[in-house]
Amino acid sequence: MNMNIRVMLRPFLGGLIAALASACGFYKWDMENTCHAVERSKARELPIKEEDVLTVAGWWAAERARSTEGKQLWKAIPSINPGSRAEIIRDSAKEAGVMDCPFADELQAAILAIDLERQQRLQKKLQKSSPADASPAPERESTKADAPL
């Protein structure tokens, strides 16, 4: 009788093991889709502005997420500081066994470019607001009030 139970359970256990292995594979699949979203979504071939390519590719990857972890990642992305998103995506990809992540690389480069552009605009504003012939303010001694909190 013990042998009959084993024989009966074998297909069930085999199916369960295959399902678990498949579920684990979905997260890797989600992260592969995420990391290669620009290419796989063909976002660059769409009639959209270049600055919208990563957004469209991200939406494409988010819509295709199948694992709980993949869905949670895409649900969390909007609330994550934009400067940290690339690192989190890259770390999640590595955790899933995906070592190459062009999407995270492009995202990081885009964020750095946006930050640089902001700094340049701010610098131009500051240059316009300060008269060219103004002399610098005299230096004063540092006081306790100047100390950081």
Number of domains composing the chain: 1
pTM beyond 0.75, yes or no: no
Per residue, the 3-state secondary structure of 31-85, as one string, reads HHHHHCHHHHHCHHHCCCCHHHHHHHHHHHHHHHCCCHHHHHHHHHHHHCCHHHH
Query: Is 67 contained in some domain?
Result: yes
Q: Is residue 36 part of a domain?
A: yes
Q: Tell me, yes or no, whether 63 lies in a domain.
A: yes
Residue 102 lies in a domain: yes
- Residue 147: inside a domain: no
Domain that holds residue 41: 25-128
pLDDT, one tens digit for every residue, the chain (149 residues) = 455 655 555 565 445 444 544 455 899 999 999 999 999 999 999 999 999 999 999 999 999 999 999 999 999 999 999 999 999 999 999 999 999 999 999 999 999 999 999 999 999 888 888 765 555 555 555 443 433 33
Q: Is residue 12 part of a domain?
A: no
Residue 145 lies inside a defined structural domain of this protein: no
